[in-house]
Structure 1
Amino acid sequence: MDSSSGSSSSEDEELTELMAAQDGHDRRRRPAEQSPSTTTPSLTSAQAARLYVSHAFSTWNARGYEFAAILFTAAAYPDTLVAAALRMIIIYLAMIVLSSSIGGWVQNAPDRLRTLLTTVAVNRTSVIIGSLFWLLILSQEDLVKGETVFVLPKNDGLKHVIFVVAVAFGIIERLSSSGNLISMERDWVVTVAAAPGRPYDLTHLNAVMRRIDLVCKPVSPILISVVISASGSVRIGVLYSALTSLVSIPIEIVSAKGVWNSSPVLRVPKSRKAPSGSGAASVSAPTPATGLAVPWTSRVRQCFVGFEMYFSTTVWVPSIALALLHFNMMTWRATFITYLINIGYSLPTITLARAMGSVFEISSTVATPLGIQYMGKAYGQHRSLAGEEDELEVGLIESNEQQQQQHTVDGQTLVGLQRFGLWGVSWQVLNLAPVLAALWAISLSREGREMTSSPASSTSPDWGWSLVIFSFLSFSRFGVWVFDLTTQQLTQVLVPEHQRSKFAGVETSVVNVFEILGAAAAISFPRTEQFKWLALASFVAVTVSWALYAGWVKGQRGHLLHWEKLGLWGRNARR
């Protein structure tokens, strides 16, 4: 008893000292006089490994079930695409309406560990229960092929009802997955990140977390496909999804608890009180205990307050620019893959091209930290060369917030993020232009063959245009994820701490708005020969994204390029 009390007292003193240190941060001497070791959280390699393990299992399950649900729906309704379209539209709508509340709940929950573990428990439970309902659907006798174990009589009415229930659990799975990602990326990672330039700073943590996501993105679905193909039964795939979720629960809990127990800064309860004047303070997000009692009018009001807060931040323009890319159909989504198959490409060719794109995606997570560092340092060198005044505080962070967030961002990192992000989205636009030209050339060629009564499907697409499509599309994926990583870090460090998770929830809603617009566009132009117009609309969307971000960077820094410095470099080169 005495030993336990002593341990608890010691821990309380440690937390009290840490909170006092944080509260006194703004009252200390100039930032240059502060010792980084005493003002910044430290993250050991063991803590980072546990953080990565927890995130890896969450991402693996989310990516796997996202793909598995598509296969389950296709197997349940083999002769129509209506069920698959309805399922996705319903989930998109639910995410648009409810993501803001999820972000608000993560923001207001004082205990970081309980919040993260709640999302894990809800997510895995929804997958396990949802898998049970998928198993009931796929066990009806008209859907069971060559199996005699657990066969149910055909009943279309019951099948539709069970499908609705399975979709409902799919909504819960997607919302809890979103909550888990917000808690991890906008709370845990930002809290434990070291100062810029030190091991495990925010740039490197984000890069590794995104690398994990990009590896899980193709590998987890591929493994589910292998399980179903090897067993010859979609029902085995359902059982695999449920078992994977069940096994990952204790691993994620142990990993998250390991990080939390060894990190005093994570154990400090979050303050639920927003600063005065904050739009987020007027309506608090529902907690799990009170969420069911909140009337629907309050939920609608919360949604509007969330969007008001979102558009009041400094970085809503980069966030919108990134979300706009989710409308793009010149990427490896179902619409584009279906189009490629319809014009004569084989599935192995598409799989190989997609794998090549994944290599560029993953490489972007290696290049981004280096690019941010290089462009930030280059800025500092050029500024000294030209004798400029410091421009960093113009429209970026107020001085008091800049001091509070010193451990996650500095001036050079901020400029590096802006400049390398602009490079990334510019790279995507430049590489999608040849892809658009190739798609139009193939489409016009097919139309020409049809007009001459030559069967368009009998001839494979020209190998030259094929090379253009697959190579430049792969190159563009590098720019996409550079832009994604830099924009994510900008929102992490430029959104005030008391709004960060709420902002991420609204951001998820915005992303799903463009997702559903993309799905609606594909439904409106369903024929193969109409895809060229979808490609054109996609290129316009990406170009608008570039223009929005470029305009924001110019507004923040006053320029996009230092033309006078280019002239100075030229004069120095001639000497």
Structure 2
Amino acid sequence: MGTGLGSSILLSSPRPHLSRPFLPLLRLRSPPPPPPPPLISLSLSLSPRLDKFIPKCCVTNVEVELDSVTVTCQNDELNSIPSLQSSCPIPLVAITGDDLDLDIDLPTPPFGLLPAGQNSVFEELPVLSAGEQQSLAATPAHPKGLYAMYACYLFGNLVEQLWNFAWPAALSILHPSLLPVAVVGFFTKFSVFVGAPIVGKLMDHFPRIPTYNGLNVIQVATQLISAGMIIHGFNTIRPNSPPAVLLQPWFIVLVMASAIERIAGLALGVTMERDWVVLLAGSNRPVALAQANAILNRLDLLCETLGASVFGILLSKFSTVTCLKVACGLMVGSLPVLIILGQIMNRLSCYVLDCHRTTYEKASFGDLLLNSVKLVQDSLDAITHGWNEYKHQTVLPASMASVLLFFNVALAPGAIMTALLMHYGISPSIIGAFSGLCSTMGLVATFTSAGLVKRLGILKAAAAGLIFQASLLAVALAVYWSGPISKQAPLIIFLSSIVLSRLGHMSYDVVGTQILQTGIPASKANLIGATEVSIASLAELVMLGGAIILNDVSHFGVLAILSAAAVACAALMFCRWLANPTDEQRELFTFDPHFTPM
């Protein structure tokens, strides 16, 4: 007895006669010993009404029991078709005609079509070779649209990174205290911590291109307002006490505009890095998607390097107000370019970014818009659920180490370090070069981390990155407490230690991401990842709150101690986890040939 698949007959292809025999897509599976070969003979004739069509056989997923079956359709035998000898649910279709005769004999190749050595009349379905599959996986779904997205990301991110360096530098020149910079930084991080989940939920219900255009308009408008407020602060009488600065109307507007600008920038980054790149590279093309993610990461670091360096050079040659006006000109000029690039990107990608949301999502958006209480409740439920999943993940120590690194706001490039160096009278060009070198170290880490993993294994490579960073930050801390860093030799050692420590920081960032991707189930990756980002923002909030309390520059040493201690705790926690692996950890990282407890 053999088991096969049934077929149905379809009429198509407007041609008068068969130009070549057609073999039905039918596969027979027969256990040994083979039964006597069944014979299926099918004779069909087309009526004059159907003489322009060719009958075709198409296999469907229907199981058939065959012993010895003969099916015959003749012009004069339509009423005497023999029945099948077993339970068979296939309907019989008879077509009459006078000029078509097709016979198929299963065991013997008909018409001599089969090549030598092939023992079946049914050809296997063609499949891609391993090389062709790898080539397809590395080919983006919309390569031209992806290149347009790179240009759009580069141009928009360059202006954003320039402004991220410009505002703390300008505020530090405006007032020597750390307090104004710390307050603005605190509320921008707080806006991200509170508003990011809600904005992310709402963005899922807006069309992509109009949302992108609107976010660009909001970001540029808030950047212009922030720059205008700082310029207004330079043109008015400056209060001597730091708390008096916080009560100025222009400073309050600056804080509000900066918070909105940061949310808009975050939303644009998520749109590009989490949504658009997947659509343009292809979610089912992993190599192309990984390459696109790496390019976006390097472009971000490149923009951070260029933005800080360019504005630092401008500050060293021109007045602060002039530099802010130049930044405003770049912001205004960038807006039409970004909108045009967005349209070009959508057109080159065959309008894939115009994909509409589902009806359910549209209805949900209307409900959320009308019921703000439900929106807040859903966000709180999502945060609670995310925290529960986060604290029960298998690789929790690795994730907590990443969070602890965000406590380092003093011994890292950023607003606090910029304010400190400006207070000591360091040239803005040197400060810009320092920030650029820190970003360059991150760029180098994206290339060296693969070799580090190959030599040490993924877990030990992550531990090496943390230990390297903690050691160099200890050197920087010792130099700071040994004497004033305004002198040339201590300043060079202090800044060089921080620059080199970024190599370890970014190495762990790259390798740690792979650890988290390995240990977190795919079904919970987004939830746990978003929760980790929120907790990291909370860590920065705590440190910036400490900077607000310890706002005098003389208290920077305390912030430096807290920052270095957080990195040391991260390295100690990870190494302890690595030295005492659980059975679950061993099972997860069995692919790591270098994995042995420390």
> TM-score normalised by the shorter chain: which range applies?
0.5 to 0.7
Partner in structure 1 of residue 567 of structure 2:
539
Q: Secondary structure at the match of 1:331?
A: coil
Task: State the alpha-carbon separation in 1 of the partners of residues 245 and 412 from structure 2.
Answer: 37
Partners of 1:95 and 1:512 within 8 A in 2: yes
Q: Normalising by structure 2, what TM-score?
A: 0.62
Identity of aligned residues (%): 18
- AA aligned to 2:192 is M
Task: State the alpha-carbon separation in 2 of the partners of residues 320 and 231 from structure 1.
Answer: 44
Indicate which of 390, 403, 410 corresponds to 1:323: 403
Task: State the alpha-carbon separation in 2 of the partners of residues 356 and 473 from structure 1.
Answer: 10
Partner in structure 2 of residue 395 of structure 1:
none
Partner in structure 2 of residue 306 of structure 1:
383
Q: Secondary structure at the match of 2:183?
A: helix
Task: State the alpha-carbon separation in 1 of the partners of residues 190 and 430 from structure 2.
Answer: 34
**Structural mapping, 1:332-371, within 5 Å:** 332-336=413-417, 355-367=436-448
Q: Secondary structure at the match of 1:66?
A: helix
**Structural mapping, 1:542-561, within 5 Å:** 542-543=570-571, 546=574, 555=584, 558=587
Task: State the alpha-carbon separation in 2 of the partners of residues 162 and 290 from structure 1.
Answer: 37
Offset of 1:220 from its aligned partner?
Answer: 1.2
Offset of 1:342 from its aligned partner?
Answer: 8.5
Partner in structure 2 of residue 138 of structure 1:
234
Is residue 268 of structure 2 the alignment partner of residue 172 of structure 1?
no
Partner in structure 2 of residue 65 of structure 1:
163
Indicate which of 340, 348, 351 corresponds to 1:254: 340
**Structural mapping, 1:270-419, within 5 Å:** 270-271=357-358, 294-295=371-372, 298-299=375-376, 301-309=378-386, 311-312=388-389, 317=396, 320-328=400-408, 329-336=410-417, 355-367=436-448
Task: State the alpha-carbon separation in 2 of the partners of residues 552 and 266 from structure 1.
Answer: 45
Q: Which has the higher mean CA deviation after the structures are superposed, 496-505 or 247-256?
A: 496-505
Is residue 578 of structure 2 the alignment partner of residue 481 of structure 1?
no
Task: State the alpha-carbon separation in 1 of the partners of residues 246 and 425 from structure 2.
Answer: 39
Partner in structure 2 of residue 101 of structure 1:
198
Report which structure shows greater RCO (CA 8 Å, sep ≥6): 1
Task: State the alpha-carbon separation in 2 of the partners of residues 272 and 498 from structure 1.
Answer: 24
* TM-superposition CA deviations, 1:290-315 (whole Å, max 9, x none): 87755467426513423524653769
Offset of 1:187 from its aligned partner?
Answer: 1.0
Is residue 186 of structure 2 the alignment partner of residue 186 of structure 1?
no
Task: State the alpha-carbon separation in 1 of the partners of residues 316 and 376 from structure 2.
Answer: 44
Higher helix proportion: 1
Partner in structure 1 of residue 296 of structure 2:
209
Q: Secondary structure at the match of 1:527?
A: helix
Partners of 1:186 and 1:501 within 8 A in 2: no
* TM-superposition CA deviations, 1:24-74 (whole Å, max 9, x none): xxxxx9x99998588998345432321111111221222122222223434
- AA aligned to 1:323 is V
Q: Which has the higher mean CA deviation after the structures are superposed, 63-72 or 34-43?
A: 34-43
Higher strand proportion: 2
Is residue 469 of structure 2 the alignment partner of residue 432 of structure 1?
yes
**Structural mapping, 1:391-540, within 5 Å:** 420=458, 422=459, 425-439=462-476, 441-442=478-479, 445-446=482-483, 473-485=498-510, 506-523=531-548, 527=555, 529-530=557-558, 533-540=561-568
- AA aligned to 1:218 is T
Partners of 2:173 and 2:422 within 8 A in 1: no
Partners of 2:165 and 2:415 within 8 A in 1: no
Task: State the alpha-carbon separation in 2 of the partners of residues 70 and 285 from structure 1.
Answer: 43
* TM-superposition CA deviations, 1:373-429 (whole Å, max 9, x none): x85xx9xxxxxxxxxxxxxxxxxxxxxxxxxxxxxxxxxxxxx9xx64x45532322
Give the 3 Å change call, closer, same or farther, for CA 161–559 of structure 1 in structure 2.
same
Give the 3 Å change call, closer, same or farther, for CA 171–457 of structure 1 in structure 2.
closer
- AA aligned to 1:434 is S
- AA aligned to 1:117 is N
Indicate which of 212, 216, 225 corresponds to 1:120: 216
Aligned residues between the structures = 456
Q: Which has the higher mean CA deviation after the structures are superposed, 84-93 or 493-502?
A: 493-502
Give the 3 Å change call, closer, same or farther, for CA 231–345 of structure 1 in structure 2.
closer
Partners of 1:206 and 1:489 within 8 A in 2: no
- AA aligned to 1:543 is A
Q: Which runs of 5+ in 1 are unaligned?
A: 1-28, 144-155, 275-283, 379-415, 447-455, 568-575
* TM-superposition CA deviations, 1:297-356 (whole Å, max 9, x none): 742651342352465376984655433321124322344566678999988777666554
- AA aligned to 1:303 is L
Partners of 2:309 and 2:432 within 8 A in 1: no
- AA aligned to 1:231 is F
Give the 3 Å change call, closer, same or farther, for CA 168–493 of structure 1 in structure 2.
farther
Task: State the alpha-carbon separation in 2 of the partners of residues 272 and 506 from structure 1.
Answer: 28
Offset of 1:545 from its aligned partner?
Answer: 6.6
Partners of 1:104 and 1:285 within 8 A in 2: no
- AA aligned to 1:224 is F
Task: State the alpha-carbon separation in 2 of the partners of residues 38 and 556 from structure 1.
Answer: 34
Task: State the alpha-carbon separation in 1 of the partners of residues 377 and 269 from structure 2.
Answer: 23
Partner in structure 1 of residue 24 of structure 2:
none
Partners of 1:42 and 1:193 within 8 A in 2: yes
* TM-superposition CA deviations, 1:249-301 (whole Å, max 9, x none): 22222222233233355443344869xxxxxxxxx9996x8877554674265
Task: State the alpha-carbon separation in 2 of the partners of residues 259 and 548 from structure 1.
Answer: 48
Indicate which of 311, 314, 335 corresponds to 1:224: 311
Q: Secondary structure at the match of 1:163?
A: helix
- AA aligned to 1:92 is K
Partners of 1:425 and 1:480 within 8 A in 2: no
Partner in structure 2 of residue 50 of structure 1:
148
- AA aligned to 1:359 is T
Task: State the alpha-carbon separation in 2 of the partners of residues 497 and 269 from structure 1.
Answer: 25
Give the 3 Å change call, closer, same or farther, for CA 297–359 of structure 1 in structure 2.
same
Task: State the alpha-carbon separation in 2 of the partners of residues 339 and 80 from structure 1.
Answer: 9
Partner in structure 2 of residue 151 of structure 1:
none
Task: State the alpha-carbon separation in 1 of the partners of residues 288 and 222 from structure 2.
Answer: 34
